[in-house]
Amino acid sequence: MSLTFYFAPMSTASITEAVLAELDIPFDLVTLNISAGDTKQPEFLKINPNGRVPAIVHEGVAIWESSAITMYLGEVFGVVRNLYPALGSQRGEAMKWIVWSNVTLAEAASRLFASLPPEEQGDAATNAPEASAPEMKDQTIAERAKADLRACLSILNGGLEERPFLIGEYSLADTHIQGIVGWIGSLGVDVQSFPHVAAWLDRCYARPAIAKLMASYS
């Protein structure tokens, strides 16, 4: 098996890092420095023309976008490890949450991140070029983003009301989304006011692979 993971610290690549930690599969790691322009170099643009991480190359095929990577790794490696559902309605449910987290949840979080002054941005988990644009530092934009995030967290809270994890048992859908929710908490959004989300996040953090990964950051 040939698997290469293109990673940058303090970026959305941390989601893929957590997925790979849960799967416990071998891979070659290539660490890039976004500030130094590594992701804009011709060699990397051949892998991801968007010039962003995460990206993986598996058996010679490049895959980018964190949600696509999570679902792909789940299909290829996660089913046999009971970390991703087989084909069927549960697979669809996992895909629903993963795609929603990138399209809706992370989009609102990126708007909030972009609107905050640097000292309030917490842990940067975005490659968005607008993140440092001065015109985005606007209180109205921040409040709208926070309201959208509260609406998203309410949806997530409802989905977890009668389940310990998103599709019942722990899956890579939880791995994927916990990284985004943790980032949202670092931006000053009160995740604890959503009790089912807060309890779920604690359960995710208690996973041995995730706990080990988080300990490596400190």
Q: Is the pLDDT of residue 212 over 90?
A: yes
In the beta sheet, which residues pair with residue 58? 3, 61
- Cα distances from 14 to residues 21, 89, 161, in angstroms, run 10, 28, 27
Q: Cβ(54)–Cβ(13) under 8 Å?
A: yes
Place of tokens 């994927």: 176
* Chain segment 68-115, per-residue pLDDT in tens: 999 999 999 999 999 999 999 999 999 999 999 999 999 999 999 999
Say what the pTM is.
0.90
* Chain segment 14-52, per-residue pLDDT in tens: 999 999 999 999 999 999 999 999 999 999 999 999 999
Enumerate domains of the chain plus CATH numbers: 3-78 (3.40.30.10), 89-207 (1.20.1050.10)
Three-state SS sequence of 150-209: HHHHHHHHHHCCCCCECEEECCHHHHHHHHHHHHHHHCCCCHHHCHHHHHHHHHHHCCHH
CB-based contacts of 46, cutoff 8 Å, min separation 6: none
| Cis before 42 (ω within 30) | no
Q: What mean pLDDT comes out for the span 161-165?
A: 97
